[in-house]
Amino acid sequence: MQLFRESPWYRQIAARMYTLWPLKALGTAAFMIVFFWAYFAVLRNPLSPVTVMPLTWLDTAIPVTSLAFPFYASLWVYVSLPVAFMKDIRAMLAFGAWMALMCLLCLGIFWLLPTGVPPAGIDWRLYPEMAVIKDVDTGGNACPSLHVASAVFAAVWLGRIFDCVGAPPFVRWLSWLHCLAILWSTVATRQHVVLDVLAGTVVGVIFGLAGLYHALRTAPERRI
């Protein structure tokens, strides 16, 4: 325990990453495999006709750019960081359980009330990076954006972890800026509209805070 309490914050993070790393790696990979299987199953088999989400003035104000693709794709690294930075298996299980509950809720909404983004009217061959996304994810499963909800969920937990290790404020701000960049990227790639982002943010905050509260109730000294 002295290693986690008295070392500089970056050494604490390094020690946390080493703790139970095979379990973290296998658990994260298994979660993502199951998630993608369920996500695409729902995307291809909606229960009813898909409702096209409306655009707002902000949607038209945010231009399409290939610069958004790295931030969009970085979600899968970002959401893996909280577990990678944890030292307590109970916190890891709580994170996974609440993330799974959030995903199940959103997938249920996608199946029962399917939504999609309107056609962008863009030749995606001009954006070869994003063309890959468009071929795989057809712009369905739109509202609430699970991409956004997952980023916000992870950001809430990362904020608490950085508090526990005594990280300087700039580290916490960088985490939230990364989260905001992911949110922006969902619109800049035309994978979502602004209303999807707003709904996903609400879902991510609610589940992130609820899961964190649950984890801290049983964590030693309220540290995760």
Q: Residue 224, SS3? A: coil
pLDDT at 2: 46
CA 98 to chain centre: 12
pLDDT at 130: 79
DSSP 54: P
For 81-90, b/e burial (b = at least 16 CB within 10 A) is bbbbbbbbee
161 burial level (CB within 10 Å; 0-12, 13-18, 19+): buried
pLDDT at 4: 47
Pairing of strands 115-116, 51-52: parallel
pLDDT at 136: 73
pLDDT in tens, 47-80: 999 999 999 999 999 999 989 999 999 999 999 9
CA 164 to chain centre: 21
pLDDT at 5: 52
In order along its 224 residues, the chain shows pLDDT tens digits of 444 456 899 999 999 999 999 999 999 999 999 999 999 999 999 999 999 999 999 999 999 998 999 999 999 999 999 999 999 899 999 999 999 999 999 999 999 999 999 988 888 888 887 777 777 777 789 999 999 999 999 999 999 999 999 999 999 999 999 999 999 999 999 999 999 999 999 999 999 999 999 998 887 666 78
pLDDT at 217: 87
Three-state SS annotation for 128-151: HHHHHHHHHCCCECCCCCHHHHHH
Global confidence as pTM = 0.93
